[in-house]
Amino acid sequence: MWLNVGELGADATGRRLCTEVLQEAIDRVAASGGGTVEVPAGRFVTGSFELKARVCLRLGAGAVLQASGNLEDYRTWPYRHEEWGPTVSLVFAQDAEGVVIEGPGVIDLNDEPFFEWSTLKTDANFTPEDAASLDPEQAAEAPVQPRERPNQCMVFLRCDNLTLRNLVIRRAPCWTLTIVESRRVELGSVRIQNHRRTPNSDGVHLCGCDGVTIHGCQFDCGDDCVAITGIASPDTENRNVLVTGCILRSSSAGVRLGHLYSKVRSVRVSDCIIADSNRGLAVFAGRDGFVEDVQIHGVSLSTHLMAGQWWGKGEPMVVCAHDGGCVAGLDVRAVASRADNSVLLCGKGGLVEQVAIVGWTARRFESKNSRRFGDRWDLEPIGFHPIPHAPSRKPWLVAAGVAGFRLEDCFARAEPPLADASVEALLL
């Protein structure tokens, strides 16, 4: 079955909600055994809706499906998120096999009503005094204060054979795509365009998924672009994930593998560009979690420390195991980086082992932000730690507490004003 929501009476001017018409079309197509719900050209404003098995939601050329700016138009779904609690999202799908969302149109998640855009977000590590001391250029990098907001945007729970393709998703007020305990997932040629100052606006967050391919995508986010963790599903394991041919920009990390108790195995990141980001690659394991069997090949990294309450300090890559966690079997090859901080590998009460870095070309520079805020390692969620070398030393790599570490065919140089500084690898 094929239904067009415009032909069913949905308002294409954005003046009236189309939630009921959209949900009715989805329900009818699902009841028929599957098919397509078409959103034609126009601006269609909607509250929360549920996708069903074997339904393709197609955004036609010129179509904008825009989330309501009123929280009263959102549902609290019967799913409790491990970190965020009761789930309030625009799109929700549960136990729905064969869901497809495709473009070429746009899903606009409408972040503007959900933030205090003139107020910087602060905490114990970035205080109101710190915020007040920033110059206008630095303040323009810092995260803004959220109001009450949808705590997820698009949630797919146990949705096997899930496909998102040729689609633009923009302006997420929190996690954009949350995919939990799903198998055989494909994201192809998806563009996520979030505001770089909106905290927690991850691109795609995988929890307990198996068999995921993310290819040819462009993500621009105010938090991790691709996060592969167990935050929403702590007892499950992410495995068999491929991220390839993507361009990623983040105010946090381009790619994050693991967090706290997360279990991550068999991940491949290849032929990607991580540009203009606060941190390139983040690999973390703690609380008896693990990250194992990871290949990172052919990646270009450009990072710099961004002012404000972001995780990260401009590092191209951080690998950290703490509180009994384990990172093992990390193979990094043919990486080029330009950064104002070091690559960092450290065991802080956890195990980092069997790490190979081969053919890394590093360029180091010093930014205004790194001179002011770069005197500590940011290892959140286990806090900040003093840098174990003199400020006059500018290593491109620092490794401490790593077993079975191989460093081969690597090259590093400093850019002005660091041209005379040391940029050797520092092994502690």
Interval 354-381: pLDDT, tens: 999 999 999 999 888 888 888 888 898 8
- Taking the CA atoms of residue 23, residue 25, residue 26 and residue 28 in that order, the dihedral angle to the nearest 10 degrees is 120
Render pLDDT for 300-316 as a digit per residue (tens, 0 to 9): 999 999 999 899 999 99
What is d(CA 337, CA 308) in angstroms, rounded to the nearest whole number?
Answer: 23
Token pair recorded at residue 286: 């703690």
Q: What letter does residue 12 receive in the DSSP assignment? A: T
Task: List Cα–Cα distances, 14 to 4, 19, 58, 395, in angstroms.
Answer: 16, 11, 18, 54
- The DSSP secondary structure of 318-361, one letter per residue, reads EEEEETT-EEEEEEEEEEEEEESS-EEEEEEBSEEEEEEEEEEE
Give kind and range of the element (H or E) at residue 200: none
Average pLDDT, the chain: 94
Note the CATH architecture for domain 1-111+149-251: 3 Solenoid (2.160)
Residue with tokens 């805020």: 373
The pLDDT assigned to 386 comes to 83
The pLDDT assigned to 108 comes to 98
Q: Which residue has the higher pLDDT, 269 or 414?
A: 269
When computed from its CA atoms, the radius of gyration of the chain, rounded to whole angstroms, is 22
Task: End-to-end CA distance of the chain: give it in Å, rounded.
Answer: 64
Taking alpha carbons only, the member of 90, 61, 88, 69 closest to residue 77 is 88
Token pair recorded at residue 50: 């549920």
The pLDDT assigned to 388 comes to 75
The pLDDT assigned to 57 comes to 98
Render pLDDT for 44-91 as a digit per residue (tens, 0 to 9): 999 999 999 999 999 999 999 999 999 999 999 999 998 999 999 999
User: Does the pTM exceed 0.85?
Assistant: yes
Cβ neighbours of residue 355 closer than 8 Å, sequence gap 6 or more:
319, 327, 330, 332, 345, 402, 404, 405, 406
